[in-house]
Amino acid sequence: MTDDKGADRRNTCSGCEATWTAKLACHCAAANCHRTFSGLALFDLHRSAEGKHGRCLDPAQVLNKAGVAAMEFRDGMWRGPQMTKEQIEKAWGSKEAGQ
């Protein structure tokens, strides 16, 4: 806890009071959203291409390929559900049979 100045680096949003320290976290600065996600993949999922500039979906309503909630709010930000590696692969179809 004594070393470099970067240790306490916080990311902040110019549009709200959110702060986060996780390197990979993504904060959505869209009006009426200002949600923080644990990673870019979840951030992308909550963005919809609908409308002129796209829009934000309610993360609680976003489903993954398996039709279950793709993320949940935990420890201050939206995170993927706690699953085993196997469940994740199944849910995200990363190992689809078909070659």
Binding site for Zn ion (CB under 5 A): 13, 15-16, 18, 28, 30, 33-34, 56
* CB contact at 8 A, 87 and 80: no
Q: How far is the CB of 32 from Zn ion (least distance, A)?
A: 8
Tell me the two tokens of residue 48.
């919809």
CB of 50 to Zn ion, least distance (A): 13
Residue identified by tokens 């930000």 is 77
**Which is nearer to Zn ion, 32 or 99 (by Cβ)?**
32
Helical H segments across the chain, by residue range:
40-46, 85-92
| Smaller CB separation from Zn ion, 30 or 88 | 30
CA distance 48 to 95: 25
Report the nearest approach of Zn ion to the CB of residue 55 (Å).
8
Instruction: Give 13 or 88: the residue with its C-beta nearer to Zn ion.
Output: 13
- Give the DSSP letter of residue 27: E
